[in-house]
Structure 1
Amino acid sequence: MPAPPTALRPLPLVPEISLFLADSSAGLFDAAGGEFRSDEPPPFWAFAWAGGQALARYLLDHPETVAGLKVHDLATGSGVAAIAAARAGAAEVAATDLDPAAVAAAQANAAANNVTLREQPDARPDVLLAGDVFYSPTVAAEMTQRLRAARRNSAYVLVGDPGRGYFPDRLFERVAEYPVPVPAALEETETLVTAVWRMR
């Protein structure tokens, strides 16, 4: 799927971090003429989703959560949570995504913020991050399985979620909540109340 044009912009909730993002008037499928194509993932990485911004804000405000630890940002998208973890003093941060374009975007965003992200995660990270990953039944089921496996391996699991329909809240407890400014073209609203959740 063609990528929308991007420019380096500070984030509304996390102005300490700037990312290469699409214009706020752009929609997820605009670069593809408004069509979804299943053969290529949409350019999720070109947008700062509410869950990732909330995670980033939380980590910058609570650096002790990741300081000196090995962190893996799963389904990193733009890399915002991974960048925040690195800025908060994590010993190492890996940013992975099924979409190679997202990994490339996260690396470019990391460089723009003067931090380094690994592409290969530690087999047993201390902290696992996931922002906005419960947007479809299939993805939510797969993510829940991966997060629970990490939790069983003693990882501290943090998720940012703005109330997506497939979020398994029974498995989590809320640790913070933020009103996140979001592009109306993306979310059909200008603010999403977004929580950071810790897996039980």
Structure 2
Amino acid sequence: MTAEEFVRAHTAVGHAPLVPEIALHLASEITPIWQATEAWLAERNIEPPFWAFAWPGGQATARLLLDEPARVAGRRVLDFAAGCGIAAIAAARAGAALVEAAEIDPLALAAVRLNAALNGVRVETPEGDIVGAPCRWDVILAGDVCYEAPMTAHILPWLRAMAASGAEVLLADPGRAYLPREGLEPLARHAVPTTLELEDRTLREVVLYRLLP
């Protein structure tokens, strides 16, 4: 079974509550998709299926770009740790000149490709860990990435370096524990409906920040 076939077999087309304009291949329940992915985990170094859900940070970022397309229109955009690719798709729909979605999980990349095709937009999906790459983007989107200490320690210095190189780095955070306490400029807020299966509450307030160098 290819990665694309796996995604199709374990999801259904749906819509995130804050961004109904975008169709996505989504899992309806967390346990079955987690169990199905474990079979792949046994044979491949694959992350848990974060790509099967539209997380609050991605939804808020997508909403911002669809409501304010000038933020990315005509610009080169990276959706970092893209998950299902909702922010990347929104950037493409908002008129970005180039959109890339970075993920280390081949299933996530497959989901992004399928979701981009579902919405009739083009999103490039480079493979491998992009952290450490030189800056080739005007805007970098990072939604809901500060949920673990090792992850934050790995990505934050690079994201700050990208900001120092001239990229506008937009960090969307729904109150995760490892969000940096300084070097953030708030830009917008969105209340994002969620479920108790994924979160500890039914509504998450996401703050969108500009990450300072």
In structure 2, the partner of 1:126 is 138
Matches within 5 A, 1:46-195: 46-120=52-126, 123-195=135-207
CA shift digits 1:60-93 (9 cap, x unpaired):
1111100000001111110011000001010010
The answer (yes or no) to whether the contact 1:124–1:153 under 8 Å persists in 2 is no
| Equivalent pair of 1:134/1:143 in contact (CA under 8 Å) | no
Residue 119 of structure 1 deviates from its aligned partner by 2.0
C-alpha separation between the residues in 2 aligned to 1:169 and 1:69? 29
Quick check: 1:11 aligned with 2:23? no
Shift of 1:123: 4.2
The offset of 1:40, in angstroms, is 3.1
What one-letter code is carried by the residue in structure 2 that aligns with 1:101?
L
CA shift digits 1:100-139 (9 cap, x unpaired):
1111100100000110001248842000111111010000
For the residue of structure 2 that corresponds to 1:170, the secondary structure is coil
Matched-pair contact (CA < 8 Å) for 1:124–1:150: no
Listed one character per residue, the Cα deviations across residues 1-55 of structure 1 (whole Å, up to 9, x for unaligned) are x8782111011000111110010x424735468xx98953100000100000000
* Structure 1 pair 39–124 and aligned structure 2 pair: CA distance change class (3 A): closer
Structure 2: how far apart are the matches of 1:32 and 1:73?
23
Q: Is the 8 A contact 1:94 1:117 kept in 2?
A: yes
Please report the TM-score for the alignment, with normalisation by the length of structure 1. 0.90
- The one-letter amino acid of 2:137's match is P
In structure 2, relative to structure 1, the CA distance for the partners of 1:148 and 1:123 (3 Å cut) is closer
Q: Decide whether the 8 Å contact of 2:46 with 2:106 is kept in 1.
A: no
Once residues 118 and 143 of structure 2 are traced to their aligned partners in structure 1, the CA distance between those partners, rounded to angstroms, is: 21
Which stretch of structure 1 is more off in the superposition, 130-139 or 112-121?
112-121
TM norm structure 2: 0.85
- 1:30-41 to 2 correspondences below 5 Å: 30-31=35-36, 39-41=45-47
Equivalent AA in structure 1 for residue 18 of structure 2: L
Structure 2 unaligned spans of 5+? 1-5
Query: Is contact 2:135–2:162 with CA below 8 Å preserved after alignment?
Result: no
